[in-house]
Structure 1
Amino acid sequence: MNLNQNIKVKDALRRGQNRINYVCVSVAIVFLAVVPLFLVFVFRNDQNNIVLITGGISSVLIGIFFPFYWWLKETVRYKIWAGKNVKDIHRFYEEALSKKYITEHKFLKKFELKSNKQKEELKRFFNDRLGKKREIIRDINADIARETVFKSNNMVSIIIWIVLMIGAVYLKYTESVNDRMVYFTIVAGAVLIAYELYKMFKYKYILKINKEYISYKDNKEKIFWKDIQSFNIVRAGQYKPGELNIITSNESYSLSLEGIVNNRLNKVLDVLNENKHRFEINNFEA
């Protein structure tokens, strides 16, 4: 391996986001949504058109299989590139795994697309770099503040209910609709908006994170980095908010991150990883 190990972890992770996640998501959106809608629009007056049918099926297949193919191929290149260029390889590896840019899942690894040369480079990547004892390398991300606060934000839900209420009022004066349904929608919307606002302002913050501790819901829970053994974030589901799971030397915590959307959870993970690194540096240098 020709080594030039001067790339910071944040820049290496950004590369993974651009070359892996963004490509996969963009292709999936185009071929699973944009192209089928375009075909339906163009051939909307001829639903039995063979072009519409074959084009739609082909588009869906491409939208499913190409991102998977790209991810399996690019994740190999990404690990090899990181092995040659990233300064703090152990920290990079942990964070890239947590962000799903790479994987060590046995089933998925069987399908990785790699040449014989890449197989040898990967062996050196795991043996020569990850196989060595981890060292604390100072690699601070100055873009992340010394202390970061995450607040609950349910504005999307509030906007949806406002739109529904406006729609109900519009239908009342333009269409023949049941008044009781209109009034029910308005009252229900007002109640739910009030509830969402209550959740938003119930706590000053959901998470406060710095290099010493993680504080949850206005200090309801305060967990110090010196006690934390591991943590992970579970993404929000259809009816379930995201969670921050923390294991300490004494107990485990499952902290609900209601009001923090999945896109924002990526930022939470970045802040957690960075402050864990800052704690390790301070502890190492002490």
Structure 2
Amino acid sequence: MRENVTVQQALNKGKIKLIYIPLLLMLLSFGVGFYLNSVELYSGWAIGISGIVGFLLSWLAWSYFVVEWKVWAFENVRNVHELKRKAIEQRLIWNDDSWFNKTEIVCYEQKQKLKHLEKKFLEKDVYHDDISVPKETAIYFSKTTMVIEFIIGVFMIGSGLFFYWTDSSGFYWMILPLIGIYSFYSCFKKYLDKSPQIIINNEGIKLKNSSLTAWNQVYNDRVFNESHGKHSTNYLSYNSEKISIDNLDIKFDKLENLLQVYRVRFEKSNPS
């Protein structure tokens, strides 16, 4: 096992095989259905049949590629716990207890390899220090977010007043200025708040208006994305805390790296 593939590289390859290829098969199937319908061959039910066929083809592709990807990824990535967690979060694979795992197409050789690779999950993930990371990082509200909220406020108020004046019968247009005022309020509130929302350093994590939690008291710390219908939110989570980071001046990957680096430094300074 070379273990020279990063978690992100493995996830990128997984997305191609487990998301993009199945999606392409589904779109191609729909395309064939629309074509047959347009030339009046099997018209009426061609699109419905193509949808069913596309779903079956995409699921068959996932079932075939998923085991192949697991074997390759878990063989070549060192931090298999992080890889598996992120693969589940990004919907490349399912939880161990999921029924969908029973649809995987796996041969005897792959079964033996996966069984052998289970030993890697008995070891902790390994992270290293990063000298580019300062002793402490303070995270504030994002100025970019404030500008966007300000622009939205101007647009909503201007649009609402314009439509109200040009359409005197529609008081409902005044909903738009109300949304704009709220956007202004949110922007102004963030602008006045000059204090850091999160402080992370070699000793632990501190949220605004709370005391610092030492690394030896921090558990299940992670950065993850949670979908809400068509929208998604990035969160920092640890212990019982769950903080949205979308309005903060920190990127997903950078925050994740900070958690790893500062914990490594703490453990080096406080060996158990």
Q: Could you tell me the TM-score, scaled by structure 1's length?
A: 0.64
| Aligned counterparts, 1:1-286, within 5 A | 3-24=1-22, 30=27, 35=31, 39=34, 43=38, 49=40, 51-106=42-97, 107-127=99-119, 129-131=120-122, 133-134=123-124, 136-138=126-128, 147=137, 151=142, 153=145, 155=148, 162=155, 179-181=168-170, 183-185=171-173, 187-203=174-190, 208=198, 210=200, 212=202, 213-214=204-205, 219-221=208-210, 224=213, 226=215, 227-231=217-221, 233=224, 235-238=226-229, 242=233, 244=235, 246-248=237-239, 252-255=240-243, 268=252, 270-286=253-269
Task: Tell me the CA shift for residue 272 of structure 1.
Answer: 4.4
The CA deviation string for residues 119-160 of structure 1, in whole angstroms up to 9 with x for no partner, is 111111113x223x32534386989xx85666484959x769
Contact 1:211/1:225 (8 A) holds in 2: no
Could you report, residue by residue, the CA deviation over 1:165-221 in whole angstroms, capped at 9, with x for unpaired residues? 869968997xxxx6322x532x211220221243244225896474555555xx245
Query: In 2, distance between residues paired with 1:93 and 1:117?
Result: 21
- Consecutive unaligned residues of structure 1, counting only runs of 5 or more, are none
1:81 CA displacement: 0.7
CA gap of 1:221–1:14, structure 2 versus 1, over 3 A, is farther
CA contact (8 A) 2:129 2:265 kept: no
Cα RMSD (Å) of the superposition? 4.8
CA shift, 1:80, in A, is 0.7
Percent identity between the two aligned chains: 16
CA gap of 1:53–1:246, structure 2 versus 1, over 3 A, is same
Q: Distance in 1 between matches of 2:48 and 2:221?
A: 41
Where does the alignment leave 5 or more consecutive residues of structure 2 unmatched? none
TM-score for both structures, normalised by structure 2: 0.67
Asked whether the 8 Å contact 2:201–2:262 carries over to 1, the reply is yes
1:81 partner SS: helix
Q: CA offsets, 1:230-272, max 9 Å, x none?
A: 1464624259974747443xxx224356769xxxx9x53x344
- With 221-230 and 114-123 compared, the bigger mean Cα shift is at 221-230
The 3 A distance-change label for structure 1 pair 138 and 234 is closer
Q: Does the 8 Å CA contact 2:218/2:238 hold for their aligned counterparts? A: yes
Distance (Å, rounded) in 1 between the aligned partners of 2:228 and 2:129: 34
